[in-house]
Amino acid sequence: MKEDAAFQTLSTHDMPKAGRLTRWNEFISETFADMRVEPGNGSDFNATLSRIKIGAMGLSWYSTTASSGLVDVGRVGAWSAPIGEAFLLAVQESGTTIGHYLGRKIETSPGEMVILDAGRPWRIESADAMCAVAIKIPADRLLKLTSDPESACGIRLDSDVPGIALAGTLLLQIKNAIAAAPLADWSAYEDVLLGIVAAALQCVPEADRRPTKLGSQRRQACAFIERNLDNPDLDVNLVAEELRTSTRSVQRTFGEIGFTPRAYIIERRIDVAADRLKRTDFRDLSITDIAFSVGFNDLSHFIRCFRKKWNMSPRDYRAAYSLSH
């Protein structure tokens, strides 16, 4: 496997046949979700996958010979999914695939897209060689765009829809640019990738959506937290009140991903603050302004929390990022 801190590529072509499929399954499970891949038509299997982290987002592209893949345990791969929940937006680059997701059969041809909840069981098949590009979107990022992301999942997004055609073309162009210069700094493209996801969501036909009453309790909680990060009074009590449940229930659902509600709120506030410290459109804001804009009302507390995560002060973080760009 070729890799650096951000960019990695795995190809099975130079591997012994005996261990090829095992290694591929390990890598693709870490990238997307626990998956078991089997060769199609009894033929020799070969595949290549490249992946790169772009801010909080993950971008990958892969090609395989005929094969089928099954995700049946609902566990999201750790790569580019810090709290173990993520969605996938995939665009078919070549070949045709048939997917099965929550009772839906989705056939995608070049240029067509589909959104999936990576934590749900799903299956994909290709009778011939195929290539695809996928964005892995942490659930907290997608919840900024829609409070019910599950309702848009498992629906084929046709390339004859202008918005899908444009989004797909842009995604393939970004992939080609990164493939040509994988060691360049692509961090500024996080917002572009999120914009592609937003464009795809807008093109999901309302008639095809399946409302899910805001999905799981944790996703409801995360969506409420994202909308209210700037409120210094945001706490588990407000979340429980919004969800019409008990504080203990909220604490339990966050415990499943290794957080307390308070720790999750601080984590998201620090992440948003770090993003604003990097962005040129927030350069006129002081450190104090940024701290208060994400819900901190104590600058010293903000600095301590920021240093704990990033091993430097907010001021040094902003300066280091400015120097590197």
Segment 285-299 shows an average pLDDT of 95
222 with 149, same domain: the answer is no
Q: State which residues form the domain around 66.
A: 2-208
104-108 β-sheet, strand order? 36-39, 67-71, 122-126, 97-101, 104-108
Domain ends where: 167, 182, 208? 208
175 with 248, same domain: the answer is no
Please name the residues in contact with 317: beta carbons below 8 A apart, sequence gap of 6 or more. 274, 277, 306, 310
Segment 206-212 shows an average pLDDT of 78
Domain ends where: 168, 190, 208? 208
203 with 229, same domain: the answer is no
6 with 102, same domain: the answer is yes
Q: What Å distances lie between residue 147 and 1, 73, 152, 169, 211, CA to CA? A: 38, 24, 11, 27, 11
37 with 152, same domain: the answer is yes
Domain ends where: 208, 231, 246? 208
Q: What is the CATH number of the domain that holds 21?
A: 2.60.120.10
145 with 263, same domain: the answer is no
Strands (E), 79-146: 86-94, 97-101, 104-108, 113-117, 122-126, 130-138
For residue 210, pLDDT over 80 is answered with no
Over residues 232-280, the pLDDT tens digits come to 999 999 999 998 999 999 998 888 777 899 999 999 999 889 889 988 7
126 with 222, same domain: the answer is no
Confidence of residue 220 (pLDDT cuts 50, 70, 90): confident
Q: Model pTM? A: 0.79
Segment 106-115 shows an average pLDDT of 96
Q: Which two tokens stand for residue 257?
A: 């991903």
Please name the residues in contact with 6: beta carbons below 8 A apart, sequence gap of 6 or more. 52, 53, 186
197 with 240, same domain: the answer is no
42 with 120, same domain: the answer is yes
7-11 β-sheet, strand order? 2-3, 7-11, 47-54, 57-64, 130-138, 86-94, 113-117
CA 273 – CA 277 distance, rounded (Å): 6
192 with 238, same domain: the answer is no
Please name the residues in contact with 279: beta carbons below 8 A apart, sequence gap of 6 or more. none
Over residues 81-107, the pLDDT tens digits come to 877 789 999 999 999 999 999 889 999
State how many domains the chain has: 2
Q: What is the CATH number of the domain that holds 298?
A: 1.10.10.60
Confidence of residue 42 (pLDDT cuts 50, 70, 90): low
147 with 171, same domain: the answer is yes
Question: Residue 207: its pLDDT value, please?
Answer: 86
15 with 133, same domain: the answer is yes
